[in-house]
Amino acid sequence: MIEKSHTYRKQLFDLALPAMAENILQILMGITDSYLVAQLGLLAISGVSVANNIITVYQAIFIALGSAVSSLVAKYFGQHDHKKELQLQADSLVLTLLVSLVLGILSIFCGRFFLSALGTTKEVTQLGGLYLALVGGGIFSLGLLTSLGAIHRAQGRPRLPMYVSVLTNVLNAVLSALSITVFDFGLVGIALSTVFSRLVGVLILASMLDFWSILKHVRLSISKNLVTMALPIAGERLMMRVGDVAIVAIIVSFGVKVVAGNAIGETITQFNYMPGMGMATAVLILVAQAFGERDYEAIHTILKKAYGYSVVMMFLVGGSVYFLSSYLLPFFTNDPTAQEASRVVMLSSFLGGPATAGTLIFTALWQGLGKPKFPFYATTIGMWGIRIFLGYFLGVLLGLGLAGVWLATIADNLFRWAILSWRYHVYKKR
């Protein structure tokens, strides 16, 4: 029993740590990209910032597809059904390219319309539209990078996508810097550097698979299982994105300084969630494998251990961030109002850690079991029925301000954690 427990712990951390490293790297490289774009002026910063809001939606779609791919590949991997596994890989790449084609066309031909609809000025729309046309037009590179990475993780090679992520991000930073400082390519150089770097990563990940066997399984139709898995996961992520926009609209009513402080706090507390997100990636894959093997006891053990590890690590990171706030915040702002707002975010993130971990782990559990609709329903109800409604009630009507909005956020995570775990216990008895 002790040996099995050690095995589960090793499997969880072997999958979670590379995923955490990838997420942290993405954040750091995002900061680097922002610095490089800043060298081109405020208009460029504004244009790229707004364009990236749209690209973030694209990324959410591909991450959802990657989660579906990980779950199904891991399931067939656990069943030792190599034929179904190859067919699923082929279908996932075809679906990725089809989605990329639609998003790419929209980016090239409708990008400026999207940006102007968001209220940007003519100059910002022009620069942002150019960036969106180039990066969004080549969005298939991000899609394939995500799907191929998901396949490798599900097959027990979680470090490979991490190493490729390191390479692509460093390559992107170097090429972007050269584009500005040496070749004077400006915004076009930064955009093309992003697409090219991702393509290098795609080629590496593809070369590490039995790619010719996958190509032989390419067909016009797409696996129904893949589509029915991907749609609810995408819906759940998009529901969060749209809900976040509504939350920001509430926070805007508290004033510019509070908005800035909330943004700073959210930027810093991104690191709080990395352990839970990494463990959630591991849970999805390991639960899918165990489900494919019909090992239900393993599923329960994996769930308990992953939640426990997530809470401890998130508590340590969140506590460190909050108690070091006096040293961290001056790097971003010296305004007392903005700093106070940032501390509210940090404290809320720290205190809400157990509920956030529960939501992340149990969402991954249901996706690993091949039942992603339930997390979608829970997120929809939690976001719109609790977080937004209660946030407005507490923050605006009762005058609690930003603290009210974050209390509602904790309440939302508590609700989703409770409903997802209760449903699992009912499911387990069956």
Instruction: Report d(CA 274, CA 28) in Å as an integer.
Output: 13
What pLDDT digit, counting tens, does each position of 169-227 carry? Answer: 889 888 888 888 877 777 788 888 889 999 999 999 999 888 788 888 777 777 777 87
pLDDT at residue 29, rounded to an integer? 67
Cα separation of 275 and 244, whole Å? 22
CA distance 356 to 351: 10
CA-CA distance, 340 to 298, in Å (whole number)? 45
Buried b (16+ CB within 10 A) or exposed e, 119-146: ebeeebbebbbbbbbbbbbbbbbbbbbb
Instruction: Return the pLDDT at 281.
Output: 86
DSSP state string for 113-172: HHHHHTT--HHHHHHHHHHHHHHHHTTHHHHHHHHHHHHHHHTT-THHHHHHHHHHHHHH
- What are the domain boundaries of the chain? 39-222, 229-430
Nearest Cα to Cα of residue 226 among 359, 344, 361, 76 = 76
Nearest to 57 by CA among 239, 191, 199, 205: 239
pLDDT < 50 positions in the chain: 1-2
Place of tokens 């791919």: 69
Taking each continuous run of H as one helix and of E as one strand, the counts in the chain are: 18, 0
pLDDT for 2: 45
Interatomic CA distance for residues 206 and 405, integer angstroms: 44
**pTM of the prediction?**
0.80
Taking the CA atoms of 90, 203, 23 and 44 in sequence, report the sign of the dihedral they define: negative
